[in-house]
Amino acid sequence: MCLSASVPLVRLTTISSLRCLVAAACWRLDGPLGDVQSVLARPELAHYVSGWPRPGELGVVAEDGPPVGAAWLRLLPEHDRGYGFVDAETPELSIGVVPTHRGRGIGSLLLKALVLSARAQRHEALSLSVEPDNPARRLYERCGFQVVGAVDGTLTMLLVL
């Protein structure tokens, strides 16, 4: 498996990779969400990719031929909050790896690369939302995210950079 040749992760420059990976970032994909189109049909999920990237937004993608995983930041305003909204200056992280490629370290690489890029871009913190029983929570804790709140049964986590 090649993660984009010698550079393991590639900065996303277009929205196309994100759109095809947005369903991979949804926990419980075997639930009612299903596929990319059904995710993009829901405004509360589609706003994580529409118009991406805006100024200050970053992303990385892992490729194995086609894109197989991505981690990206979204800055959403107060009136259009994401699940992990903290404030309008704190980007919210989304991450997803297609099911065939999970458990090989790709998600960890994506997360570390994005955190480094966010720090280099002078972001002060990153937030995210995770369900308490999602195993991804351990990944976030290993990277230094801490629980700072709970909304409708999901945990809001924050990483101060």
Which chain residues interact with ligand COA by CB under 6 A?
24-25, 27, 95-97, 102-108, 128, 130, 134-136, 138-139
Q: How far is the CB of 55 from ligand COA (least distance, A)?
A: 24
With respect to ligand COA, which residue has the nearer C-beta, 68 or 122? Answer: 68
With respect to ligand COA, which residue has the nearer C-beta, 27 or 149? Answer: 27
Q: How far is the CB of 22 from ligand COA (least distance, A)?
A: 10
Phi and psi, residue 155, nearest 5°:
-95, 135
Q: How far is the CB of 94 from ligand COA (least distance, A)?
A: 7
With respect to ligand COA, which residue has the nearer C-beta, 53 or 130? Answer: 130
Q: How far is the CB of 79 from ligand COA (least distance, A)?
A: 23
With respect to ligand COA, which residue has the nearer C-beta, 32 or 55? Answer: 32
**Complete DSSP assignment for the chain:** --SSTTSSSEE--SSHHHHHHTGGGSSSTTTTT-SHHHHHTSHHHHTTTTTPPPTT--EEEEESSSEEEEEEEE---GGG--TT---TTSPEEEEEE-GGGTTSSHHHHHHHHHHHHHHHTT--EEEEEE-TT-THHHHHHHTT-EEEEEETTEEEEEEE-
Which residue lies nearest ligand COA, judged by its C-beta? Answer: 107
